[in-house]
Chains A and B, each alone.
Chain A
Amino acid sequence: SQQGEEDPQALSIQEGENATMNCSYKTSINNLQWYRQNSGRGLVHLILIRSNEREKHSGRLRVTLDTSKKSSSLLITASRAADTASYFCATDARTGFQKLVFGTGTRLLVSP
């Protein structure tokens, strides 16, 4: 399968703690994106990092990308209960095919 892998599959933390999710992928990419999904609804785009970037920040989100290891991580700092959701990485490949290949997702539970 082309699908990327994410770990952990599930993560449970307390409010105020940091949450780190990791993503590995298989092919060369143009960019890697992270999405959030609440309770089986639509996906919300969080952040995009290009293949020539190593780190990117957006509010409480920090994303890193290591193209040599074909891996990325998403750090959410000072987590809130509202961050409870599933998080997916998605790669946009270099092949010219306009599609996203999603990872398996991490379910994050943030307890008050």
Chain B
Amino acid sequence: KAGVTQTPRYLIKTRGQQVTLSCSPISGHRSVSWYQQTPGQGLQFLFEYFSETQRNKGNFPGRFSGRQFSNSRSEMNVSTLELGDSALYLCASINNPGTGDGYTFGSGTRLTVV
């Protein structure tokens, strides 16, 4: 079966712009979560969606937002980009969190803000 698909793979944006990243989970997986990875802060949880509802949000400013569609696909949006937003953004899906399964991650979107 197809894995978690993230688009685009690479993105270069200018400070002040906004960006939208997309994630298609494994078919049948209802939970999608997003993580930011930077050399300085490591892997940090952004938010998690389950059946179109945001259930958890990490400690990020309101410029970071997301949503999930009825087909479980998810998007995250970052507005008013800052240089510090440059990172690898990873999406992960799982059928039902808490059941003891591992998460399946996508290959990530590498965002560079200049």
Binding site for B on A (CB under 8 A): 3, 30-31, 33, 35, 40-48, 50, 88, 90, 92, 96-105
- Chain B residues lying within 8 Å of A88, measured Cβ to Cβ, are 43
| CA gap between A101 and B90 in the complex, in Å | 14
Count of chain B residues near A, Cβ 8 A: 29
- Chain A residues lying within 8 Å of B108, measured Cβ to Cβ, are 40-42
Interface residue B56 (Cβ < 8 Å from any Cβ of A): yes
- Chain A residues lying within 8 Å of B100, measured Cβ to Cβ, are 30-31, 48, 50
A98-B31, A98-B55, A99-B45 known; A45 vs B102 contact (CB < 8 Å): yes
Interface of chain A, helix or strand or loop or mixed?
strand
Structural contact, A98 and B56, CB atoms closer than 8 A: yes
Provide 13 A-B residue pairs closer than 8 Å at the C-beta atoms, listed in order of the A residue.
A30-B98, A30-B100, A33-B102, A35-B105, A40-B110, A43-B105, A98-B97, A99-B48, A100-B43, A102-B35, A102-B43, A102-B44, A105-B42
